[in-house]
Amino acid sequence: MWSHYQYSRAVSPSLRTGAVSRTPDNLIVTAWKAEQEVKKAKQHQIVENCTEGPLRWQNGIMPRFLTLADVAEQLQINSPAAYALVRSGELKAIQVGGRGQWRVEEKMLEQYIEERYAEASRMIQESKSKSV
């Protein structure tokens, strides 16, 4: 990959000022520009393959079991907070594999979210009844 410094040292002064040349220096410029185009194309490809939103999973479908990182992403919390939810028993999960990695079933995550909504509704109702 050509750095800006290498490019400026390799190209003759006439090309650096914008003059057109058919010397071998022109081939260096062409090679450098081609590398820049490839670099841009790769960056564009990385952006298109980014892992944001529901398209993060293969075919856009969430898998049955989620990692704690996936759970944290869904709930918009950090990983230690997701781990704390599992360890406290608020969020049901299983340990799999030889290293005991935690997995949360999609249904359990949805159930946890519904329970949080129900709890929030109860709290709102209680605060309304106290204020009346």
pLDDT digits (tens, 9 = 90+) for 71-95: 999 999 999 999 999 999 999 999 9
- Kindly report the average pLDDT of the chain as a whole number: 77
Confidence (pLDDT) at 66: 94
If one counts every other C-beta atom within 10 angstroms of the C-beta of residue 86, the result is 19
Are 25 and 10 in contact, with CB atoms under 8 Å apart?
A: yes
Q: Which residue has the tokens 């359990």?
A: 108
Biggest CA–CA distance in the chain, Å, is 88
For residue 6, pLDDT beyond 70: no
- Mean pLDDT in residue range 24-49: 64
Confidence (pLDDT) at 79: 95
- Mean pLDDT in residue range 48-72: 70
Element of type H or E holding 77: none
Cβ-based neighbours of 111, under 8 Å, separated by 6 or more: 92
Element of type H or E holding 20: none
Instruction: Name which of 102, 111, 116 is nearest 70 in CA terms.
Output: 102
Are 83 and 68 in contact, with CB atoms under 8 Å apart?
A: yes
Q: Which residue has the tokens 């919390």?
A: 77
Q: What is the DSSP letter of 117?
A: H
- pLDDT confidence band for 4 (50 / 70 / 90): low
